[in-house]
Amino acid sequence: MARSAFWAVLFLSVFLTAFVKDVAAETRKEMAASYVELGEDFARSGDFVRAIGAYNVALQFASDFAAAYFGRGRAYEARGESRKAIADYTKTLEIVPGFAMALYNRGNLRFNDGALDDALSDFDEAVKNDPRDAMAYNNRGIVKAAKGDFAAAMADFNRAIKINSRRPEAYVNRGLVQLQQGRRDEAEHDFARSLVLRPSLRSFIDSRISQLSEK
């Protein structure tokens, strides 16, 4: 069903190419926005193949429509197609420099792909654009910890907690760094704090502690 829907949207995309250049610019933008909304509807329902098809049609109407690139990037990310997602986030940032969510999402994907310097660059830019973004500090701290710069990572986790003490992620990550530095009591305190905020993190924390103990 998803495959047939994809081909139907693809056919429409090819068909539209023949006349879209004759449509007034304002109308093209309106049509692009409509297909972006359709793509978002498909994405919310978990139908990422149709979502990608809708974003493709939007880009037929307006090839510089940042929302279409960003939405398609998220759909590709949801499907595990990180390279395509990164390319779309990059295109989004070419059109809208400094767009926080595109930087954040691209940074996460680059980190997962092992491109630590590129990920760090994205989170540096995200923090520069929004110094109150706790999760940008948290994720930059994760990258710095992965690079072995524990002091800088701790500074970022501390900053994230100062900005928003109700988010558990920075407590967990600060605790993991402290555990690696032999400060078990401080680590346990951070883990306990994170579990007060989100008890479901217990299995994740236990798994990460087990991984660290094997190193």
CATH code assigned at 42: 1.25.40.10
pLDDT confidence of residue 8: 54
pLDDT confidence of residue 213: 83
- 114: which residues sit within 8 A by CB, 6+ positions away? none
Boundaries of domain holding 69: 1-95
Shared-domain flag, residues 124 and 66: no
Percent helix, strand, coil in the chain, to 5, is: 80, 0, 20
pLDDT confidence of residue 212: 86
Shared-domain flag, residues 116 and 200: yes
Shared-domain flag, residues 206 and 111: yes
Shared-domain flag, residues 143 and 87: no
Model pTM greater than 0.85? no
Instruction: Provide the number of structural domains found in the chain.
Output: 2
pLDDT confidence of residue 111: 97
pLDDT tens string 191-209: 999 999 999 999 999 999 9
pLDDT confidence of residue 4: 54
Please identify every stretch of the chain with a pLDDT value under 70, giving residue numbers as ranges: 1-26, 215
- What's the rounded Cα separation, in Å, for the pair 195 and 190? 9
pLDDT confidence of residue 25: 64
Distance of CA 33 to the CA centre of its chain: 22
